[in-house]
């Protein structure tokens, strides 16, 4: 099985989760209030109160074939708003 790590701005979280649901992932895990730096932006904790929010880190454990579907819908969001997506191997305990 695969593990997908998505990191992007919290403000796109709802849209992103809809993509995941459409791709019929078996489940997902969300960590909010995440900060970081990417090629374009620095996201820092002290700005959260403005509503700009922080990043979200979403983890999905799923079969490889689902990844294809996710890729098609998630990639445009990441390209437009920024954020990263990485895949690694993972197996159930």
Residues engaged in binding ligand AMP (CB under 6 A) = 7-8, 26-29, 36-41, 43, 55, 59-62, 82-84
65 binds, among other proteins, its own copies, ligand AMP, none (CB under 5 to 8 A by kind): none
- Contact call for residue 9 and other proteins (CB under 8 A): yes
DSSP three-state, residue 27: coil
Q: Are 83 and 8 in contact (CB under 8 A)?
A: yes
Radius of gyration of the chain (CA): 13
DSSP letter string, 43-63? E-GGGGGGTT--EEEEEEEE-
83 binds, among its own copies, ligand AMP, other proteins, none (CB under 5 to 8 A by kind): ligand AMP
Q: Which of 15, 24, 45, 64 binds its own copies (CB under 8 A)?
A: 45
């Amino acid at each position: 099985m695969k593990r997908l790590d998505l990191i992007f701005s919290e403000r796109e979280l709802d849209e992103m989760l809809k993509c995941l649901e459409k791709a019929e992932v078996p489940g997902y895990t969300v960590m909010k209030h995440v900060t970081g730096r990417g090629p374009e932006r620095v996201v820092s904790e002290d700005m959260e109160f403005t509503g700009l929010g922080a990043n979200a880190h979403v983890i999905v454990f799923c079969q490889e074939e689902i990844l294809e579907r996710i890729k098609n819908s998630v990639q445009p969001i990441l390209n437009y708003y920024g954020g990263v997506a990485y895949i690694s191997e993972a197996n159930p305990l």
